[in-house]
Amino acid sequence: MTSKIQRALISVSDKTGIENFARALSQFGVEILSTGGTYAALEKAGVPVREVSQYTGFPEMMDGRVKTLHPKVHGGILALRDDAGHTGAMKAHDISGIDLVVVNLYPFESTVAKPGVTRADAIEQIDIGGPSMVRSAAKNHRFVGIVTEPDDYGRVLDDMQKREGELSDELRRELAAKAFALTARYDAAISRWMFERELEDGLADAAFPPSFAIAGVKELELRYGENPHQVAAFYRTSGFSEPSVASAEVLNGKALSYNNLIDLDAAHALAKEFDEPFVAVTKHNNPCGAAVAETIEAALEAAWAGDPLSAFGSVLAFTRPVNLAAATFLVEGNRFVEAIVAPSFDDDAFELLTKKPKWGKSVRLLACGKFGTGVRQERDIELKRLTGGFLLQGRDLSVAKPSDLETKTAKKPTESQVNDLLFAEKVAKHVKSNAIVLARGGRVLGVGAGQMSRVDAVRMAVHKAGDGVTSSVLASDAFFPFPDGVEAAVEAGVTALLQPGGSVRDEEVIAACDRLGASMVFTGQRHFRH
């Protein structure tokens, strides 16, 4: 059912384009009601507008907290125009129909994302009248249009132009669905923020609330998901200020795919373990190469050397701006990557990567801004979807320090071995379990990922390392259940091992190290990643 729009209520926090939109509505003969700052802006712009308080006969009060919560407003929005009882009540109480509601909400999400925001300031940005009007209009979308985004102003005007001042049923339904998504996201953000404050104040009884809602805004329609027969889209959540792939600026390349985004996020998460020049080379959600060095180009070369075969078509994460030396290394020979995320790209490096044949039109370049270990937000959560539910957990941000290591063998690791063990552990945290990482000199030599038995993960890592396994160190994400994994590693050339410990056969594993002349340290902390 359609009907001509005769009266619109406009009350927006984001005033982008509102003056032109209201002026166009007025030219259609639409009477405009408005409130507060929106009323002042429209009046100043010369748009014919009537203040809501004049319409209701009731003044705004309590610093604007009460202005639209009135029967003449919500009755005008909610009344069913084809119901005699409703239209009779409108006539009896002098309620005029409101046919279009244009509302966006107080900026709660952007407010709480600011550093140092007070609880009082955040609470004042919880909109009450706005969501009430949005929900009322969306519920009654058979008769009332609801517009919550400036991007939709043009569509509404086009539809009115085509239909002589009316809105189609199809557009009303679409706008109503979008409106309910907005209020759901808004309430989810408030709920989560309030629970986090309870945690900080020590008032929450558990780490997670009794109910949990997550909402996001669609950023990208993806060509497909993990496989071509799966549909997919990328949504960005609000209230998150940590540098991330989600917030990075895409500077170049083909459209990002589902798998690109997952790999970029995995590579970036590993890069956030390091403050020094570091490069992660990621393939299928696992690091196949990683290295720290004095310069970013040296780190790149060492990381690539960890597994040059797998590195082709990989995704890279840099902790420093990509410079010309790094870009030159990448475009030489038969190298190619799908995407790179870095703090930024030097101008000459960007030009080389975007102008080089085979690279320019394909490689995705993402600038995420400066970051390091200190940017990671501990209060953020990890979510894993199950059929019929989901799991929540805190982020695994912990890493061992030299003082956390407990030597279990007669032979103690050297200082350089300790440094390599701690480096390898940081990488192992980001390898699918069972995870084994071999390293030496601040670079990964071989990775064993996603194996059902730990000894097979060791064998895979040793195979990948090749001749480099000699005098390498090994980090395991979880304990060795049997001595066989240790024996396979040490017999291949590994000289020091790190693991959390905790197996009923720890003593057998330690004895195998002593028998073979290797050192082993325990961290007491597991880093499974399924």
User: How far from 332 is each of 147, 314, 352, CA to CA, in Å?
Assistant: 52, 16, 11
Task: Classify strands 436-440 and 232-236 as parallel, antiparallel or unpaired.
Answer: unpaired
Sign for the pseudo-dihedral over CA of 251, 254, 257, 260: negative
How does strand 31-34 pair with strand 7-12?
parallel
Query: For residue 521, which amino acid is it?
Result: V
- Determine which one of 4, 178, 284, 411 is catalytic: 284
Q: Is 162 a catalytic residue?
A: no
Residue environment code for 350-389, b if the CB has 16+ CB neighbours within 10 A, otherwise e: bebbbeeeebeeebbbbbbeebbeeebeeeebeeeeeeee
DSSP 8-state secondary structure symbol assigned to residue 257: P
510: enclosing H helix or E strand: helix 506-516
Closest CA to 497 of 477, 463, 521: 521
> In terms of Cα–Cα distance, which of 403, 402, 379, 405 is closest to 392?
379
506: how many CB neighbours lie within 10 A of its CB? Answer: 17
The yes-or-no answer on residue 139 being catalytic is: yes
- Euclidean distance between CA atoms 477 and 505, whole angstroms: 17
Q: Catalytic residue, from 4, 15, 139, 178: name it.
A: 139
Residue type, 454: R
Report the Cα–Cα distance between both ends of the chain, in Å, rounded: 51
The residue to which tokens 């410990």 are assigned: 501
Residues identified as active-site: 139, 284
